[in-house]
Structure 1
Amino acid sequence: MTDEPTEPVLLTADDDGVRTLTLNRPFRKNAINAELWAALADALTDAGKDPDIRALVVTGAGGAFCSGADVAAGGIASGPAHPLRGMRKLTDVAQLLHELPIPSIAKVDGVAVGAGWNLALGCDFVVATPQARFSQIFARRGLSLDLGGSWLLPKLVGLQQAKRLVLLADMIGAEEARDLNLVTWVVAAEEIDSFVADLGKRLAAGPPVALAQSKALLNEGANSTMREALANEARAQVINFATEDAPEAAAAFAEKRDARFTGTWAVQGRPAR
């Protein structure tokens, strides 16, 4: 095996409020090693805290999204540490992505398998090319699923289809994944960059506080009672009333222009901390 290239394992680029994270190990189809797990955790933490970042895109370099954890490098069980410590690197990434307060988009070309597919499913939207291929490949590697797959899949496709995907570990195409609600859009390879760029700009132009709360409400709603969901919605709406975005939306409607959302705190006499 040749030595690995010395380029960063994760590339970061910002464009008008949209941050793109590119998994950059194309010689391994962007399989995630320990260094890349750590870089992803740091990058997701930074994106969630940066007030100038309003949307996130996750993609892969070299014509692949992600071939999962890098088992050839020993995976999470390499080294003298207990494997549970390695697993925490995965769970940290899954939790950070799920709780990210900004909308997220997975841009998928080529393979997205194992933890790589669940990384994509952890995003709010999945945009794939017709050439994209997906597999919950864990069973072929003698493993059970991880990176949130056991939570995400039944909610997205139902229990029986989740079991079919996981226990048989079949490879499926982009069209079937879309039919199963595992891909949001299938877009031609030559158009996917502009499609995702436009989608990211639309999300970045939205009201950041309201979008963050709506995302959290939807994520939590599947596990809430109706009473709990209504109470959570009421609390979230009161927070929206305390920003300048709701009156800005009303003014923009009256003036027949696009709203300019900032998420700025609007309650007088009590500055935000």
Structure 2
Amino acid sequence: MSFVRVETRGPIASVTLDHPVGNRINFDMREELRDAFNMVARSEARVLIVRGEGADFCLGGDVRDWPGVPVASLRPRIEVFAKALDMLEQLPIPTVAAVQGTCMGGGFELALSCDMIVAARSARFAFTEARLGIMTLQGGMMQIAARVGRAKAAELVFLSDFVGAEQMAQWNVINRVVDDGRLDSEVTVFAQRLADGPPGAYAGTKTMLRKWARDGEKEAKAALYGVSMPLFETEDVQAALRNAAEAVNGGKPFPKATFSGN
């Protein structure tokens, strides 16, 4: 791959955008991201970190590709990115975007397609599509509205203003803000903690969140036991339950469980 790197260290996979300068998402990178997320889906990784090489996470779509391209040709090439983000959202493992510098346009949609975002304190976010007279092309307006509400989402999308990481954290858009020099180390610790957790419960939780977002709370609750009860048949859960029961009987706190994925 020319613009994307895929690496695995133990249970942690990383997909890194690497397109100097600014990691702009050109046509080739769209295909490489789709292929990268497919590789992660077929791997034994238990958590994924999405990163951007250099000073900025991602400056969005590479508009240098777009002028003069007929819409009939442009649409399928842009839709490749939608397919890549769908694959990212469908991964059964926790996904974390590690954001530094500027994160805008399609790069912001990429970060929002992850389960969680950890950002450097100086990071800034924006949807800048309106400056070009276009809309958020991968559903960013809905992604941000789900977090900040319709009115604030409309303001962000219409005006294309940049917003800092601290404010985004207050608005519940990102999960954690860390000092700039500690982004990589903090994300690695965060990812390792997720990798040590219960993969079956994570996958089930993601299934239920997608069901809730798509069909509403009533339908999600109706599907809950069908997703949750099979976990009790796994070796991991039975071992954790036995150890927890023994601890309770002995007047001790729950011991730390080990989850193999079985």
Give yes or no for TM over 0.5: yes
Describe the shift of the 1:23–1:84 C-alpha distance in structure 2 as closer, same or farther (beyond 3 A): same
Unaligned 5+ residue runs, structure 1? 1-6, 265-273
Q: 1:59 aligns with which of 51, 55, 77?
A: 51
Instruction: Look up the match of 2:258.
Output: 260
Question: Aligned-pair distance for 1:150?
Answer: 2.7
Aligned-pair identity in percent equals 33
Name which of structure 1's ranges 220-229 and 184-193 shifts more when overlaid on structure 2: 220-229
Instruction: Look up the match of 1:21.
Output: 15
Question: Aligned-pair distance for 1:257?
Answer: 3.9
3-state SS, counterpart of residue 96 of structure 1: helix
3-state SS, counterpart of residue 12 of structure 1: strand
3-state SS, counterpart of residue 26 of structure 1: coil
Render the CA deviation track for 1:217-241: whole Å, top value 9, x for unaligned: 1132134344312221100112212
3-state SS, counterpart of residue 121 of structure 2: coil
Instruction: State the distance in 1 between where 2:224 and 2:42 align.
Output: 23
Question: Aligned-pair distance for 1:60?
Answer: 0.4
Question: Aligned-pair distance for 1:106?
Answer: 0.4
Instruction: Look up the match of 1:268.
Output: none
What amino acid maps onto 2:36 in structure 1?
A
Between Structure 1 and Structure 2, the one with more helix by share is 2
Q: 1:48 aligns with which of 14, 27, 41?
A: 41
Instruction: State the distance in 2 between where 1:80 and 1:228 align.
Output: 38
Structure-2-length-normalised TM-score: 0.91
Unaligned 5+ residue runs, structure 2? 248-253
Instruction: Look up the match of 2:90.
Output: 99
What amino acid maps onto 1:73 in structure 2?
D
Instruction: State the distance in 2 between where 1:39 and 1:222 align.
Output: 28
Question: 8 Å contact 1:94–1:148 — kept in the other structure?
Answer: no
Question: Aligned-pair distance for 1:79?
Answer: 7.8
What amino acid maps onto 1:17 in structure 2?
P
Q: 2:5 aligns with which of 11, 19, 31?
A: 11
Aligned runs of 1:1-273 on 2, under 5 Å?
8-27=2-21, 29-50=22-43, 52-74=44-66, 78=69, 82-253=73-244, 254=246, 257-264=255-262
Render the CA deviation track for 1:104-124: whole Å, top value 9, x for unaligned: 000000010001011101111
Question: 8 Å contact 2:24–2:62 — kept in the other structure?
Answer: yes
Instruction: State the distance in 2 between where 1:101 and 1:219 align.
Output: 11
Name which of structure 1's ranges 226-235 and 54-63 shifts more when overlaid on structure 2: 226-235
- What RMSD, in angstroms, separates the aligned Cα atoms of the two structures? 1.9
What amino acid maps onto 1:21 in structure 2?
V
Instruction: State the distance in 2 between where 1:57 and 1:23 align.
Output: 11
Aligned residue pair count: 255
Question: 8 Å contact 2:141–2:154 — kept in the other structure?
Answer: no
What amino acid maps onto 2:62 in structure 1?
D
Name which of structure 1's ranges 98-107 and 222-231 shifts more when overlaid on structure 2: 222-231
Question: Aligned-pair distance for 1:244?
Answer: 1.4
Instruction: State the distance in 2 between where 1:260 and 1:81 align.
Output: 52
3-state SS, counterpart of residue 259 of structure 1: coil
Instruction: State the distance in 2 between where 1:82 and 1:226 align.
Output: 39
Structure-1-length-normalised TM-score: 0.87
Question: 8 Å contact 1:129–1:187 — kept in the other structure?
Answer: yes
Instruction: State the distance in 2 between where 1:252 and 1:57 align.
Output: 32
Question: 8 Å contact 2:66–2:74 — kept in the other structure?
Answer: no
Name which of structure 1's ranges 212-221 and 247-256 shifts more when overlaid on structure 2: 247-256
3-state SS, counterpart of residue 222 of structure 1: helix
